[in-house]
A = this chain, B = another copy of it.
Amino acid sequence: MRQVSSSLQLDVRTDAHLVFSVAVAQSHPLSDEHLDITLDGAPLAATEITDVHGTRLHRVAAGPGRLEMTYAATVGPAEPAPVLPADDIVYLRPSRYCDSDRLANTAYSHLGDATGQEVVEKARQWMLGHIVYAPGSSGPADGALETYLHRAGVCRDTSHLLIAFLRARGVPARLVSAYSPGLQPMDFHAVVEVLVDGAWWVIDGTGLASRPDLVRIATGRDAADTAFLTVLAGNADLRGLRVDATNAEGLTPDDGVRRVQLR
């Protein structure tokens, strides 16, 4: 059994519409799930909206004040991600932060003619060898090209570049936000799913996650689809964030290489 939780504190400065992407995806069976949102201590009702691939978004309207969001759930094993008819078309397309079209020649330069599982492993190794994990080194508007030039970033950045390289070499790839038991330092994590040999496999360009323990939150093209907080309208400042994730049975050993599906 995996336990996951998160909490956010926000200063809402005007009437605002907020979307949280913190709830575990529909693919996982859940028990004891609760999502509570308060504004200056009074409960606030959230609307649940289903995005693609079972992503669950929670939307609230809030006036000015101190907003607190707390989420917790006990998580069971997920069904493997299904392969939808348009998946290998949609996830080859360039996206906001995975500008695979701009990086086509660059990806070829570093990865050559390899295909399928081979190019996936080659791209993952390239990230491990060339992208330094460096919190604070990147900005919210940075995409794969900027990460390629800077050679530094956080999980989001490394995943974007990994996705861009793989799409450029013909491998459908997408971003998954996740709870990651054992992650150091603990935070929301971002990993990559690749469509190879008829199934979606998870890889981690940072090497930080124990993949068999990951719990899926949101699935999409890139961070534009998976941000844990989106301010749709109005102004709100994030003041605090805490994430926790554990696996009561202990972490599953993971060499990073063998094929793993998000379960």
* Residues in A lying within 8 Å of B, measured CB to CB: 19, 49-52, 57, 59, 85-86, 88-90, 92-96, 99, 101-103, 105-106, 109-110, 130, 140-141, 145, 148-151, 170, 224-225, 230, 232-233
**Contacts beyond the supplied A52-B52, A93-B224, A105-B151: 6 A-B pairs with Cβ under 8 Å:** A51-B86, A93-B225, A95-B96, A101-B140, A109-B110, A170-B233
Q: Which of B49, B170, B233 contacts A86 (CB 8 A)?
A: B49
- In the assembled complex, the Cα of A145 lies from the Cα of B141 at a distance in Å of 13
The contact sample of 20 A-B pairs, CB cut-off 8 A, is: A19-B89, A49-B85, A49-B86, A51-B86, A51-B90, A59-B89, A92-B230, A92-B232, A93-B96, A94-B96, A95-B95, A95-B224, A96-B96, A101-B140, A103-B149, A105-B150, A109-B130, A145-B149, A170-B232, A170-B233
- Contact yes or no, B105 A149, CB < 8 A: yes
Sorted nearest first, the 5 A-B pairs with minimum C-beta distance are A93-B224, A105-B151, A94-B96, A49-B85, A51-B86
Contacts of A141 in B (CB 8 A): 99, 101-102
**Residue of chain B at shortest CB distance from A131:** B105
**Which B residues are CB-close (under 8 A) to A95?**
95-96, 224
Q: Chain B residue with minimal CB distance to A95? A: B96
A104's closest neighbor in chain B, by CB?
A: B149
A99 — which chain B residues lie within 8 A by C-beta?
A: 96, 141
Chain B residues whose C-beta falls within 8 Å of the C-beta of A86 in the assembled complex: 49-51, 57
Taking CB atoms, residues of chain B closer than 8 Å to A103 are 149
Task: Tell me, rounded to whole Å, the shortest Cβ–Cβ distance linking A197 to chain B.
Answer: 15
A252 CA to B261 CA in the complex, in Å?
Answer: 53
